[in-house]
């Protein structure tokens, strides 16, 4: 059978056991100086024999520090979320901070509640992923609640809070240029959710590439998605059902591109022979699916790690980096080719 839960030993119990005051125990446990080695040892022994573990809740109350950091995100792409978490957890390893996750269904609609939610959770700091990273209301509420924050991929008001940025416009222009240079002229676009500012930025990048190549921006070939695979599937179906179907599709993230890939497959189209397809993000599935997707690598992991560092810096009263520009990479893989000559 399992042992019974017994009353938890407190710092006072340990002190009594070691024949010292509670404060001395506290000093030893927190590695403060000015405690004789002999007493230190007595305290440690007493703590061990009583199975003492500090009560984080009490410590948190008096120190005004919960050691809890939040991650706020909307829930579109599993691989994106995993990368965010990995980045934060990597920075948090061997620190006393813990990661609390806050997937918010619709951040824009609920932006008024979000800060209250984070505040009542007693967080010390948060990392804001899109689209929360662009929500000024949340930023403001966080500041007035005294919660440290850092942002990933904001597009607006960069100077307002520490930001990790990648140049979405340039990245989108580069991937669109690659497709145009392969010879495509009828090019469909699957946009991400409108509440993400990155969606606008990427569309602008595409349009710059079209303009530079002397191609018109065909608004009739722009379909709205929401960053989910399902939405990419549906959008691709609409595009491919056109009388004048595109020979290439630019999807604004990899999940939607994979959805488009499945849609193409269902119509008997082979990628890239019949249809060129590109994504965005270099998420794991872009490498796993077949063919692997031409995409743009966003250093999500590094941005999350860096954002976490920015938050911790604030909590430790070090001046945080206010802005970190991250590089992107155009990754040309097997999903792009010249258009079929029909």
Nearer to a second copy, 46 or 169 (CB): 46
| Residue (of 73, 68, 13) closest to 43 by Cα position | 13
Compute and round to an integer the Cα radius of gyration of the chain: 26
| Widest Cα–Cα separation across the chain | 91
From DNA, a second copy, none, interface partner of 82 (C-beta below 5 to 8 A by class) = a second copy
The whole-angstrom separation of Cα 24 and Cα 40 is 9
Contacts of 154 (CB under 8 A, 6+ apart): 128, 130, 133, 134, 163, 165, 197
Q: Please, are residues 215 and 185 in contact by the beta-carbon 8 Å criterion?
A: yes
Does 300 participate in binding a second copy (rule CB under 8 A)?
Answer: no
Calpha distance 17→23 (Å, rounded): 14
Residues with Cβ within 8 Å of 20's Cβ and at least 6 positions away in sequence, in order, are 39, 42, 43
33 touches, from DNA, a second copy, none (C-beta below 5 to 8 Å by class): DNA
| CA pair distance 324, 105, nearest whole angstrom | 28
Burial label, 58 (beta-carbon count in 10 A; 0-12, 13-18, 19+):
exposed
- By CB under 7 A, which span of 28-36, 74-82, 204-212, 251-259 interacts with DNA? 28-36
Residue 11 binds which of DNA, a second copy, none (CB < 5-8 A, kind-dependent): DNA
Contact range with DNA by CB under 7 A, out of 31-39, 151-159, 172-180, 184-192:
31-39
Select the residue interacting with DNA from 30, 51, 105, 317 (CB under 7 A). 30
Q: What angle do CA 46, 49, 54 make, to 5 degrees?
A: 70
Please report whether residue 174 would count as binding a second copy according to CB under 8 A: no
Q: Does 290 bind a second copy (CB under 8 A)?
A: yes
Contact 188, 221 (CB under 8 A): yes
Chosen from DNA, a second copy, none, partner binding at 29 (C-beta under 5 to 8 Å by type): DNA
Does 158 bind a second copy (CB under 8 A)? Our answer is: no
| Closest CB to a second copy among residues 99, 204 | 99
- Residue 119: which of a second copy, DNA, none does it interact with, CB under 5 to 8 A by kind? a second copy
Is 5 one of the binding residues for DNA (CB under 7 A)? no
End-to-end CA distance of the chain: 74
Closer CB to DNA, residue 90 or residue 95? 95
Does 288 sit near a second copy (CB under 8 A)? yes
Residue 44 within binding range of DNA, rule CB under 7 A = no
Query: Using CB under 8 A, which of the segments 73-81, 171-179, 181-189, 219-227 binds a second copy?
Result: 73-81
Q: Give the integer Cα–Cα distance in Å for 335 and 292.
A: 6
- Does 98 interact with a second copy (rule: CB under 8 A)? yes
Q: What is the DSSP string of 181-241?
A: HTT--SEEEEE--TTSHHHHHHHHHHHHHHHHTT----GGGEEE--SSHHHHHHHHHHHHT
Residues 241-280 contacting a second copy, CB under 8 A: 258, 262, 265
**Where on the chain is the footprint of DNA (CB under 7 A)?**
8, 10-12, 19-24, 26-27, 29-30, 33-36, 38-39, 54-55, 58-59, 61-64
**Where on the chain is the footprint of a second copy (CB under 8 A)?**
2-6, 8, 51, 53-58, 60-61, 64, 66, 68, 78-79, 81-82, 85, 89, 98-101, 103, 116, 119-122, 139-140, 143-146, 160-161, 229, 258, 262, 265, 284-285, 288-290
């Amino acid at each position: 059978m399992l042992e019974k839960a017994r009353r938890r030993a407190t710092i006072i119990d340990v002190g009594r056991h070691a024949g010292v005051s509670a404060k001395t125990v506290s000093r030893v446990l927190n590695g403060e100086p000015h405690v004789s080695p002999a007493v230190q040892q007595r305290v440690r022994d007493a703590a061990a024999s009583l199975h003492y573990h500090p009560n984080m809740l009490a410590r948190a109350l008096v120190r005004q520090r919960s050691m809890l950091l939040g991650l706020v995100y909307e829930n579109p792409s599993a691989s994106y979320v995993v990368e965010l978490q990995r980045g934060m957890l990597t920075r948090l390893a061997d620190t006393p901070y813990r990661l609390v996750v806050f997937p918010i269904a619709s951040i824009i609609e609920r932006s008024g509640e979000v800060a209250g939610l984070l505040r009542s959770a007693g967080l010390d700091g948060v990392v804001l992923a899109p689209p929360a990273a662009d929500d000024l209301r949340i930023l403001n509420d966080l500041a007035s609640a005294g919660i440290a924050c850092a942002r990933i991929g904001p597009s607006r008001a960069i100077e307002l809070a520490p930001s990790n940025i990648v140049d979405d416009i340039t990245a989108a222009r580069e991937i669109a240029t690659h497709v145009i240079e392969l010879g495509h002229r009828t090019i469909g676009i699957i946009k991400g959710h409108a509440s993400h500012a990155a969606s606008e930025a990427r569309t602008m990048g595409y349009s710059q590439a079209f303009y530079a190549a002397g191609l018109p921006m065909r608004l009739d070939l722009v379909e709205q998605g929401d960053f989910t695979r399902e939405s990419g599937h549906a959008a691709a179906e609409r595009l491919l059902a056109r009388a004048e179907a595109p020979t290439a599709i630019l999807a604004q993230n990899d999940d939607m591109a994979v959805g488009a890939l499945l849609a193409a497959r269902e119509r008997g189209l082979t990628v890239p022979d019949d249809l060129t397809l590109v994504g965005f993000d270099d998420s794991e599935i872009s490498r796993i699916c077949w063919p692997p997707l031409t995409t743009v690598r966003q250093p999500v992991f590094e941005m999350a790690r860096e954002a976490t560092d920015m938050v911790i810096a604030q909590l430790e009263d070090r001046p945080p980096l206010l802005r970190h520009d991250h590089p992107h990479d155009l990754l040309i893989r097997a999903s792009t080719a010249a258009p079929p000559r029909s």
